[in-house]
Every structure is written in C-alpha cells, then in structure tokens.
C-alpha cells in the first residue's frame, strides 16, 4: 500500500504553477487515484488510467474515468473538447510518443493547453553512472524505470512538442538536486556549480530530475 500511495496518489505540487490561468474541461492521462486532478478548479474532469484500482478511486473524484492505456481508449475521448490536458510522467511510457502527442493535440479545444512532465535523461546521477561506471541499469523507479520506453533531454522534448503542433509557453527544470538547501548539499553544489561554470551554462540542466512544461495548441 505504501508503494501504491507513492505512485498513484502523488499530488505533484511542483506542476501547479504550470497550469493556465483558466480552463473548464480537463483530461488527465495517467491520472492515478485522482489526487492531482482533484486539486483543479474545473467544471469537468476526465481521466485515463491503466491501473484498475487507481481508476476506481479516481472515478469517485472525476466526471468520467476510462480504465485502460491511452491507445486503447482514445477513440472514446472527444476531439477538440478539452481546454487542458495533463500528462505528468506519462510521455516516457508510451511506445510512440510522437503519435501520442499528436493525438492529445487533436483532443484539445482551440487555444487549449497541454501540461506535463518527463524525467531528465541528463540528470547528473544518471550521467555519472553512464560515464564513470559504464552502467545503464534498469530499476523499479526513477529515470531508468524499467517501464520507460522513451528518454528525453530538454531539447528533444521541445522538438517533440513542436512536431505535435504545440507552442511552448513555459518550460523549466523541476525537482532540483539542490532544492534542500546549499549547506545540506555542499558536495552537489560544488560539482554542479563547477560543471555549469566550465560549460558556460550548457550543463545547468544536470541538476533537474524532471522537466515540466505548458504548451498551447497552435
């Protein structure tokens, strides 16, 4: 139950600042038990969730929840309908992320927004394991989660959003390795600060575990 709570009942407070100023009809793909969606002030909230138990819990909070993978239930979602679609840590799980993003764009109403997050492939711990320990080991959770089918840098994610006909309005790294404070992370601060300096800022993204974004339908 502890792992279930962690995975399916996460509130994702760090994503809230990326929400647009207003929205009426919302779709959350990978909605878990509905804890993020329940925080939204929307007239109508739909969800898509593969896990049957989580989907049942979300159904008590949402207008409608479709249980299954997105590809299997997409035909039941109306085109041009949603003002906001949320996909927090979902894009990396789909077999065809370009097709997935194009499909989400079709579901958005004119002027609608897509908000979401993905793991950062260039996170310093991940790069350290690859470069210095020559290790690429899949695990149960994290960037190399064994269920991840796609991997992203900030540039590759930006490119994918553009290909789907989306205009990025906000794009930032979230969940920094340094967010607990400089004194508690002095070693990390020196390492990441040094990399930032010698790279002329090109390695500033190494401190972020994830990227979050808001993009508008063009």
Q: Rounded mean pLDDT of the chain?
A: 88
Residue (of 133, 131, 161, 129) closest to 144 by Cα position? 129
**pLDDT surpasses 90 at 120:** yes
> What number is the average pLDDT over the span 107-111?
97
Of residues 105 and 137, more confidently modeled: 105
Of residues 12 and 15, more confidently modeled: 15
Q: Judge contact between 65 and 45, C-beta under 8 A.
A: no
> What number is the average pLDDT over the span 68-84?
98
CA dihedral of residues 18, 23, 26, 28 (deg, nearest 10)? 0
Domains contained in the chain, CATH given: 2-119+150-176+208-217 (3.40.50.150)
The pLDDT tens digits for 14-59 are 999 999 999 999 999 999 999 999 999 999 999 999 999 999 999 9
Distance CA 135, CA 85 (A): 36
Q: Judge contact between 205 and 126, C-beta under 8 A.
A: no
What's the predicted TM-score (pTM) here? Answer: 0.86
> What number is the average pLDDT over the span 112-116?
98
> What number is the average pLDDT over the span 10-16?
86
H or E, element range at 48: strand 44-49
- Sign of the Cα pseudo-torsion (77, 83, 86, 90, in order): positive
Q: Which two tokens stand for residue 146?
A: 């064994």
């Amino acid at each position: 139950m502890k792992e279930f709570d962690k995975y399916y009942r996460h509130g994702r407070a760090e994503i809230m600042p990326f929400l647009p100023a207003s929205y009426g009809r919302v779709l959350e793909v990978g909605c878990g038990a509905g804890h993020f969606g329940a925080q939204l002030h929307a007239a109508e909230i739909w969800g898509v969730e593969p896990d049957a138990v989580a989907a049942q819990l979300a159904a008590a909070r949402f207008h409608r929840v479709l249980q299954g993978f997105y590809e299997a239930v997409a035909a039941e979602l109306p085109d041009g309908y949603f003002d906001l679609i949320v996909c927090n840590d979902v894009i990396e799980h789909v077999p065809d992320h370009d097709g997935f993003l194009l499909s989400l764009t079709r579901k958005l109403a004119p002027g609608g927004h897509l908000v979401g997050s993905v793991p950062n492939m260039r996170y310093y711990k991940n790069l350290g394991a690859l470069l210095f320990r020559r290790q690429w080991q899949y695990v149960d959770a994290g960037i190399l989660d064994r269920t991840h089918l796609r991997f992203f840098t900030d540039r590759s994610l930006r490119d994918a959003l553009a290909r789907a006909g989306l205009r990025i309005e906000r794009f930032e790294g979230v969940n920094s390795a340094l967010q607990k404070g400089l004194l508690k992370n002095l070693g990390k601060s020196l390492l990441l600060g040094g990399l930032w300096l010698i790279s002329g800022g090109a390695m500033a993204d190494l401190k972020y575990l994830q990227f979050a974004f808001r993009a508008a339908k063009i």
